[in-house]
Structure 1
Amino acid sequence: MTGETRGRDRLRQRLVPAVATVVTVAAGLSVRSVLGGDLAKYAGDALYALLIFWLVLVVAPRTRAWVAAVVAFAVSVAVELFQLTGVPAELGAHSVLARLVLGTTFNAPDLPFYAVGAALGWALHLGARSAWAARRRPTPQPR
């Protein structure tokens, strides 16, 4: 592998999850305008964990997909549990960004949807890697 090829691979390792991060944020911000009620709320929870999954891969692109999924789930649960302290609600009262990132109130039914989002990230990442690997395989030459 040449230096140029390695450089492109490193760029792709960060670029793909970075683009996925932007798409996930857009989906998360628009989900409530497309869906309603509990469906929108829980889709937002799954997208929150998916966003964290992609951010892990942007920061540490060589992280295994299952590790990124576990980290995404753990961070999501930690933020949800942090809501029990009341600090996120207080911060959210003064900042839209804090409200979007930390939420305001604990809701136990959110927890399984964080797992769904983390698992979705894992599955999408593995699918993308498989497709990339298949694309890079040399095609057999006719004899």
Structure 2
Amino acid sequence: MLRTDSARRLLALAAAVAVLAIALLIRALAGGPLEQHSGTALYASMIYAGVFFLRPRTTPLVAGAVAVAFCWLVELSQLTGVPAYLSERSLLARLALGVAYDPLDMLWYPAGVLPLVAVHVLLRARATARAAG
């Protein structure tokens, strides 16, 4: 079990890099809906890892809720036109904020986070049982 915040942050950073690598691989090899929807789900997965980078002692359920809420907030902000405006001027803004609202994305964010929460809860329970037993 990881005992230090530094180790947890390092693991969160490694997870985010791995998710980014998977997203880029899918983008290079696939196209169409697979690329779009997997990218949305993987974006949410990176945000989940980012929560642990910023707050390493966060519980999986809280991190999952924060990640989904953040993604929904970003998606809803696209209704204002501000992300589109910023995306025209910056590739980083385009990658982080997107361009246009897509209601289907609202479903894909939890799809990217919920499996991670479930696995994380199971791994923590296993580690706790091992430490107690």
Name the TM-score class by shorter chain.
0.7 to 0.9
RMSD across aligned positions (CA): 2.2
Aligned residue in 2 for 1:47: 42
Task: Write the mapping of 1:1-143 to structure 2, written as runs, cut at 5 A.
Answer: 9-10=3-4, 11-130=6-125, 133=127, 137=131
Normalised by the length of structure 1, the TM-score is 0.82
In our comparison, the structure showing a higher alpha carbon Rg is 1
Q: Name the CA distance, whole Å, in 1 between partners of 2:73 and 2:65.
A: 12
Unaligned stretches of 5+ in structure 1?
Answer: none
Deviations 1:37-95 (A, max 9, x none): 11111111110111111100111111110010000000000000001111111111111
**Alignment coverage as a number of residue pairs:** 132
Structure 1 position 14, deviation (Å): 1.9
Identical positions, percent: 39
Decide whether the 8 Å contact of 1:54 with 1:121 is kept in 2: no
Structure 1 position 128, deviation (Å): 3.7
Normalised by the length of structure 2, the TM-score is 0.88
Secondary structure at the residue paired with 2:89?
coil
